[in-house]
Amino acid sequence: MASWTITALDTGASVIEKSVLTYLHDVGTKIKIVRIMFYLEGPQRIIVDTSVGDAEQGLRLLGEATLRTPEQEPLAALRAAGIDPERVDVVINTHLHWDHCGNNHLFPNARVLAQRDEIRYAIAPGDFFARGYFAPTCGAQPAYWGTRFEPVDGDIEVADGVRIIKVPGHTPGSQAVLVQTSAGVYAIAGDAIFLYENADKLIPPGYHWRIDESMDAMRRILGSSDHLLPSHDYRVFERGSPARYP
């Protein structure tokens, strides 16, 4: 089986209420979260999640300011890591919340994979979720607008050594990415697991579609992998920025 490397790019931050991440824990506490774009290199070049695009709309609809240095602008972060977006073969959106699919347009030659259930839900989500999707139902322009998706139904092998597993719970069509490396299988969890703390203490994401399925999703991801890469945890960058795995 092919062996892959993973590069995590820091593409900015926001400061938000912590219980949005850790359900009913640390209510009233603020936490600074990172917006990560992952790059996988092996027989193909793959991007997992494309971070915040329209930061102004995020501030207006959700009150979440995006804090970004010039080096953290997605294109600058890609170039600094030696990644040519034109040569990316595949983009995987773990789900379609605004902060995970805002720069799909930077990869003009890539297939873009999202779960069919997620694409359908994102157009007319539950009212409580509408702003998180920048949904047309709240008068917004979705962050993924203009993307020609390749819909995925369930689990698939994307390439030799890279697998998508469907893990609904945070959203109806959330998916995680399992990556074979020389040090075992890494799981890129998306918002199924926001922080290492969610996994360590089995705390579901505070912001979720179905809580029981969120718990099943966490267990499935942890049971399918040797190492975890959560979506918004600065500990991913403890080894440096960009952070390279394994």
Binding footprint of Zn ion on the chain (CB under 5 A) = 97, 191
Contact of 170 with 214, CB cutoff 8 Å: yes
> Partners of 24 in the beta sheet?
none
> Partners of 185 in the beta sheet?
180
For residue 137, how many other CB atoms are within 10 A of its CB?
Answer: 14
> Partners of 9 in the beta sheet?
37
Q: What angle do CA 60, 191, 110 make, to 5 degrees?
A: 85
- CB nearer to Zn ion: give 175 or 241: 175
User: Tokens 């689990």 label which residue?
Assistant: 155
Least separation, in Å, of the C-beta of 192 and Zn ion? 9
User: Tokens 């369930």 label which residue?
Assistant: 154
For residue 237, how many other CB atoms are within 10 A of its CB?
Answer: 15
Spatial separation of the C-alpha atoms in residues 241 and 17, rounded to whole Å: 25
